[in-house]
């Protein structure tokens, strides 16, 4: 069965410091991997995705993510955090072979960036 | 484009009442889905549709019905509301399955008393 784990409920960083939000996944085949961000009282916004090829994926707002097949991880990163990056972040996975389009989400990680 | 729209934004129901959450998209997306979001549990798939006239169950379908008579609309019906259905509901759409990202609506916050 597919699953996604985000091991940290909350990540705290100081503004200007690099940030990492961790995600590991489990699928029986090859994965499509996604990161979404949710600001308070809003819907989820797409940040970036991994399809195939280059293991480093760049996305919106200066975020990037590194796919590591051997560690089944897809960690979200940003070189220099902003206070406005404070939000709830979700990792999600879908199998290549899925004909249902079912997207499995992690439980979310709250990012708090302090000035 | 308005994207994905949902109505209402907030709703309070009494146990046993029924209601329909509306969802519409103007991007001509084939794939639509409904999720519920509960604290510490991420988003869980309720029902999905791969095109007009085709729907199927997700992880947590009990107590909910859907239909897809047009490409644009995908309403979610609560048949007999229960307190366990208190949640935030999100509708999403995408061009297809596979590597396509989903676009989410703003959500409906439902409280069942």
- Coil, strand, or helix at residue B85? helix
DSSP, res B100: P
| Surface-to-core class of residue B15, CB atoms within 10 Å of its CB (0-12 exposed, 13-18 middle, 19+ buried) | exposed
Residues B77-113: tens digit of each pLDDT: 999 999 999 999 999 999 988 889 999 999 999 999 9
Compare CB distances from B98 to A32, A36, A46 and report the shortest one's residue.
Answer: A32
pLDDT tens digits for range A26-42: 988 889 999 999 998 88
Query: Taking every pair of C-alpha atoms in chain B, what is the biggest distance, in angstroms?
Result: 40
**Nearest chain A CA: its distance from B111 CA (Å):** 15
């Amino acid at each position: 069965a597919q699953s996604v784990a985000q091991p940290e409920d909350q990540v705290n960083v100081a503004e200007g410091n690099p940030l990492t939000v961790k995600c590991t996944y489990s699928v029986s085949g090859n994965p499509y991997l996604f990161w979404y961000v949710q600001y308070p009282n809003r819907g989820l916004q797409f940040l970036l995705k991994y399809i195939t090829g280059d293991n480093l994926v760049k996305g919106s707002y200066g975020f990037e993510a590194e796919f590591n097949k051997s560690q089944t991880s897809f960690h979200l990163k940003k070189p220099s955090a902003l206070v406005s990056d404070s939000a709830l972040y979700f990792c999600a996975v879908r199998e290549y072979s899925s004909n249902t389009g079912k997207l499995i989400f992690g439980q979310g990680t709250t990012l708090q960036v302090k000035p | 484009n308005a994207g994905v729209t949902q109505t209402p934004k907030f709703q309070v129901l009494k146990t046993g009442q029924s209601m329909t959450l509306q969802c519409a998209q103007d991007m001509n997306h084939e794939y639509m889905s409904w999720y519920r979001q509960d604290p510490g549990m991420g988003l869980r798939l309720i029902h999905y549709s791969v095109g007009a006239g085709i729907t199927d169950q997700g992880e947590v379908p009990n107590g909910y019905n859907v239909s897809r008579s047009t490409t644009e609309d995908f309403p979610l019906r609560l048949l007999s509301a229960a307190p366990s259905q208190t949640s935030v509901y999100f509708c999403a759409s995408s061009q297809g399955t596979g590597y396509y990202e989903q676009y989410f609506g703003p959500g409906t916050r439902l409280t069942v008393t």
